[in-house]
Amino acid sequence: MPWNDQSSGGGSKGPGGQGGGGQGGGPWGSGPRRPWGDPPRPSRGDQGPDLEDMIRRFRDRMGAGGSGGFGGGAGRRGVSAPLVAGILFVGWLLTGVYPVDEGEQAVITQLGRYNRTTGPGIHMHLPPPFEARQVINVTGQRTDEIGFIAQGDQQRDNPDESLMITGDRNIVEVHFRVYYNIVDVVDFAYNVRDPDNAVSVVAESAMREVIGRRQLEPIITTERAAVEQAVEDITQQVLDEYESGVRVLQVELLRAAAPQAVIEAFNDVVNAGSDAETATNNANREASRITNEAQAYRERSIREATGEAGRFAAVYNEYRQAPQVTRDRLYIETMERVFREGDTMILDQRGGAVPYLPLDGMNRRTRPQAQPQAQQQPQGAR
């Protein structure tokens, strides 16, 4: 061949007078090449800088903060800058990778406008600022506590929320909870600013409306369930008008009572009301008893008068038929009624002197027999 093998690392020279290992070893002075024109594989000594070494140098230069930086030479600038740019680009792309747990949904916006919703799993979107995500738990039950602040097992009153005015212008202290969940994640995320706070504000407003329509005593005694249901209905209606994507599950009324500062006076008023109600009930019962007795007496008197009138009419009819007999019978019956109540002694007018009689003893002995003697007296008198 007209020239030596250029792939060897020796020092022989070709026709061009240059070493085979040099840069001008070919017949055209273009460096060592194979006969078909492909560039030779570099030897160990011709490879670029090691990756670990390059990263170490980059870290040293970034830490040094001196005048070296990326300006330490043309070769170093040509290797470090693309690597750093590539690492930053990959890191930027990885910001779009996100996981979504079970029971969650992710809402993706593209340039500020809603684009799509993704479910559980590993997903990726365009890095910011092109796309952004908001991951929301859609299956868990959420709770708002209104009127108090929970501190472990204790509750601290929040007067700004708890004190409300009733329909009869009394003040009542109300603590309650609102349980709700999310039914539309897109509406929840974008139709209402701070939807959790919106639920709390709407529920408090609904409670004040319901309390303002009722009197104090029913609120704290018999109408607690009605208050809970009314607040739940009003809250759900308002949130639906806002298209908030929220469903109210339950409103739980924990406390409805007079404020602590006036609890004693309130109890006195309640006790006075109870006493008044008790007295009223007793008076009503007594009035009912007297009324019933009066009605019974009226009925009895009417029946007795009717009977007497009937008997008188019968006697009159007999009197018309036999006047003398009727007069005698009436006389005897009248005397029988008169003498029935007292003791009777019969003396014969033919006896002469009036004998001495122990009347007191006779009365005591004959008192049990007074009624039979009274029944016999009309015959003796006749």
Q: How many residues in total does the chain contain? A: 382
Return the structure tokens found at 137: 């738990």
- Write the DSSP assignment of 244-283 as a string of letters: --EEEEEEEEEEEE--GGGHHHHHHHHHHHHHHHHHHHHH
Task: Give just the sign of the alpha carbon dihedral 142, 148, 149, 154.
Answer: negative
pLDDT at 377 over 50: no
- 118-121-122-125 Cα dihedral, nearest 10 degrees: 0
Identify whether 378 is preceded by a cis peptide bond (ω within 30 of 0): no
Stretch among 119-133, 173-187, 240-254 having the lowest mean pLDDT: 119-133
Output the furthest CA–CA distance in the chain (Å, rounded): 208
pLDDT at 239 over 60: yes
The mean of the pLDDT values for the chain is: 76
User: pLDDT tens for residues 269-284?
Assistant: 778 888 898 999 999 9
- The pLDDT value given to residue 361: 62
pLDDT at 88 over 50: yes
Quote the CA–CA distance of 183 and 125 in Å, as a whole number: 24
4-13, 32-41, 186-195, 225-234: which has the highest mean pLDDT?
225-234
User: pLDDT tens for residues 338-367?
Assistant: 877 766 666 666 666 666 666 666 556 555
- The pLDDT value given to residue 242: 92
- The pLDDT value given to residue 370: 47
- The pLDDT value given to residue 75: 47
CB 6 within 8 A of CB 32: yes
User: How do the domains of the chain map onto residue ranges?
Assistant: 53-92, 97-137, 142-257
CB 142 within 8 A of CB 183: no
Q: Which CATH superfamily is domain 142-257 in?
A: Band 7 domain (3.30.479.30)
Quote the CA–CA distance of 345 and 318 in Å, as a whole number: 33
Quote the CA–CA distance of 119 and 123 in Å, as a whole number: 9
pLDDT tier at 12 (50, 70, 90 boundaries)?
very low
User: pLDDT tens for residues 90-104?
Assistant: 888 888 888 888 888
Quote the CA–CA distance of 348 and 188 in Å, as a whole number: 122
